[in-house]
Chain A
């Protein structure tokens, strides 16, 4: 059996497979491998309230639509659990991505878009990404998580509007009565602070 060194801040590392695991990743694995309904119910209790909060945060969806979104996302979790790859994403990132795509599709349905493309078709799909790239992504995630708390309030507020409320930069500008340039520069400063460098391009 190989020996895996555990660094401070690492999640539990399974020695047999050398792969990062945590409670919710294991839960998804149990759902995928054993169709474990108990694990699914635990996962629901953890994530359904976050999905509902995400649905309601844009404040354009009714409570009924928010419940509909929770059901749709959780059924997708059941259906797609086998596609979850703990090397690639944490369980919460995976669920967030499903919730975001379902919410975008719901908005488009409500606006009567008739489209052959789902938000999932259009979203970033990293099946087949190199292990080195996945490791890099995992480090980025850890860094982002650590840095988020240190953002100034006005920048964190704008990021929440952009990512959670799902508002475009110009919608945020008109809602907060700020010039579009100010919104863009706050987003840019926040992203720079999180060390997501655009200038390396």
Chain B
């Protein structure tokens, strides 16, 4: 059962289509885990659709209709399969689009003995979109956030001073929020992190790595 969710404002911006691309991809993956948030986003879509129906119509010239009618033949209809899609615990579809393979096929950059990072390219120039692989029981050294960090657990889980997060759980941290997550003891943890500024390790022992943690948005 998913315990941690995006707040209402984030879900509102997601539904309105105004959340930045990388963040909206992360929220969208959370929704594949969370029927409650799907339902809320659906209800917000109903709000938006009602506003849409009540817009003051803007005049559209007949020539626009002619142009569209003349292009119908070049637009092949799409057929949709009717059967229900199985929602087993496979890799979320959005990640499949970005990864070309499985988690194990990615190129992982080793940050510490417990932490490896693989950067994916969403095309969003302002946000880093990366998978973190934390070894079972491994700790990510205490770090600060210079910007916001959105995290979604994909496999396994981790805990920090606020609680324990399992697959599907969503976290959002603001700049200045210090934490040191530890992966659960019995399973490696894979999570997705979306950042708009690089991490910064706070302990002297790890600070030397900070220059290597530049933001890799693309």
How many A-B residue pairs lie within 8 Å, measured between CB atoms?
A: 213
The interface size of chain A toward B, counting residues with CB under 8 Å, comes to 78
For B8, give its contact among A75, A117, A136, A188 (CB under 8 Å): A188
CB-based contact A81/B58 at 8 Å? no
CB-CB under 8 A for A44 and B65, given A124-B31, A163-B51, A169-B9: yes
CB distance from A198 to the nearest CB of B (A): 5
State whether the Cβ of B69 lies closer than 8 Å to any Cβ in chain A: yes
Q: Known interface pairs A35-B77, A44-B68, A128-B87. Does A133 touch B21 (Cβ–Cβ under 8 Å)?
A: no
**Contact present for B97 and A121 (CB under 8 Å):** yes
Give B52 Cβ to nearest chain A Cβ, in Å: 4
- Assembled-state Cα–Cα distance A159/B8 (Å): 13
A2 on the B face (CB < 8 A): no
Return B174 CB to nearest CB of chain A, in Å.
Answer: 13
Q: Which residues of B contact A15 (CB under 8 A)?
A: none
Interchain CB contact (< 8 A) of B21 among A52, A115, A201:
A115
CB distance from B209 to the nearest CB of A (A): 30
1/0 per position for A121-150, CB-CB distance to B under 8 A?
111101110000100110011001100100
Task: Indicate whether A79 sits within 8 Å of B67 (C-beta atoms), given known contacts A133-B35, A159-B47.
Answer: no
Contact, CB under 8 Å: A74 / B68: yes
* Complex interface: chain A residues within 8 A of B54 (CB): 148
Q: A184-B9, A196-B40 are in contact. Are A119 and B17 (CB under 8 A)?
A: yes
Q: With a CB–CB cut-off of 8 A, which chain B residues contact A159?
A: 47, 51
Quick check: A187 and B51 within 8 Å, CB to CB? no
Could you tell me which residues of chain B, from 26 to 63, have a CB within 8 Å of some CB in chain A? Answer: 28, 31, 35-60
Chain A 132-187 interface residues, beta-carbon cutoff 8 Å to B: 133, 136-137, 140-141, 144-145, 148, 159-160, 162-164, 166-169, 184, 187
A128 touching B84 in the complex, CB below 8 Å, given contacts A117-B122, A166-B17: yes
How far apart are the CA atoms of A48 and B55 in the complex, in Å?
A: 12
Is the interface on chain B under 10, 10 to 19, 20 to 34, or 35 or more residues? 35 or more
CB of A192, distance to nearest CB on chain B (Å): 9
| Nearest Cβ on chain A to B61's Cβ, whole angstroms | 8
Segment 80-137 of A: residues with Cβ below 8 Å from B: 80-83, 90, 92-93, 95-97, 99-101, 103-104, 108, 113-117, 119, 121-124, 126-128, 133, 136-137
- How far in angstroms is the closest Cβ of chain A from B78? 5
Tell me whether B24 is interfacial, beta carbon within 8 Å.
yes
- Beta-carbon contact of B98 and A117 below 8 Å: yes
Contact, CB under 8 Å: A103 / B8: no
Q: Are A164 and B55 in contact (CB under 8 A)?
A: yes
A residues less than 8 Å from B101 (CB atoms):
none
Using Cβ atoms and an 8 Å threshold, which residues of chain B touch A169? Answer: 9, 12-13
Specify which chain B residues have a CB less than 8 angstroms from the CB of A52 in the assembled complex.
57-60
Q: Is the CB of B46 within 8 A of A116?
A: no
Q: Is the CB of B68 within 8 A of A164?
A: no
A45 at the B interface (CB under 8 A): yes
A126-B42, A169-B13 as given contacts; A50 in contact with B53, CB under 8 Å: yes
Q: Which 7 A-B pairs have the closest CB atoms?
A: A115-B123, A49-B57, A128-B84, A163-B48, A93-B49, A52-B58, A53-B55
> What residues of chain B have their CB less than 8 Å away from a CB belonging to chain A?
5, 7-9, 12-13, 15-19, 21, 24-25, 28, 31, 35-60, 64-65, 67-69, 71-72, 75-80, 84-85, 87, 93-94, 97-98, 121-125
